[in-house]
Structure 1
């Protein structure tokens, strides 16, 4: 039985993951710090504060595995600075908190195309986030890079609804992926036999893992 930390539990992937972890029988403690309280979910320690860093600081119990499913868009965040805070700073804060609490395995949602050298702002921030986590020298670090996520969001994303039909027709890593499949793959990886070092899982592989084909 494991003790788990998860951030981003109110988001598309994170909410699926949290609801999979609770009945899994694999964990005996879940800490899910959030900006706003989780509704209708029992058996989870849910410190909440508009400043997620403050909510993270309320987690004191030992942790074995940490998941970070934080993610937004520049449009949703409101500015470049707010996007960097959400998709870089808070991710790194999650990792630092998890390390301090004893976690050995960190799993994070990144994005297809993440690269420090990308000409695209979104992918460049994601690449810098990955590099920061790798520099922390985790015993085990799993980075998942999904393509466009499918699923019901609380907040409608116009670009996703516009391009979703196209991305469902694309091959390989470009093909859109259900958020619940990303969550399912992350959970399988978290409790799979230990592989030390950094593992980067592209979108097509996530789909295979979720469906039990890998």
Structure 2
């Protein structure tokens, strides 16, 4: 039987190929491998503890500074701690700079994130918004619309400067589509932040904030 051909140490060298399709055998092998991994990890920890204890014993018998196993362990642990601290700071900084993706959930009439675009010089800038239909009904083709973008001092980027690709997207049941939003930034657009609203035609309760930041070339 398959169970007789699986050794207690977790080895599967003698396991026939047919056993790969036996769920019970697979579960026993996985359990054995996990147990071996736990034992190996425990052994590593125990070796560190023994090194530390031996280092403390040797350190007590010496009047001068000496390199001991405990010192080696301390240096290794210190290096790991510094690495972990650096990794934590990097992940925290990355998470702080990330924003939620712009998303319109048409079936549930909700939206999340913000569509943010940045322009350092005149020309076209673009970003992407995702449309989701998690329902069982086909919604047909959906078109996006955008309001004028207004800055705090009253400057305007006209809605006519906003384009969508594709212009209309078929939203079948249980589907998601990405739409590229492109804004033409002319030479006459002053630096600043221009804000507006993105809407979906036929879905009155769904809207998303959109922000265009125009910077000076040397900013």
Measured against the shorter chain, the TM-score band is: under 0.3
From the CA coordinates, give the structure whose radius of gyration is larger: 2
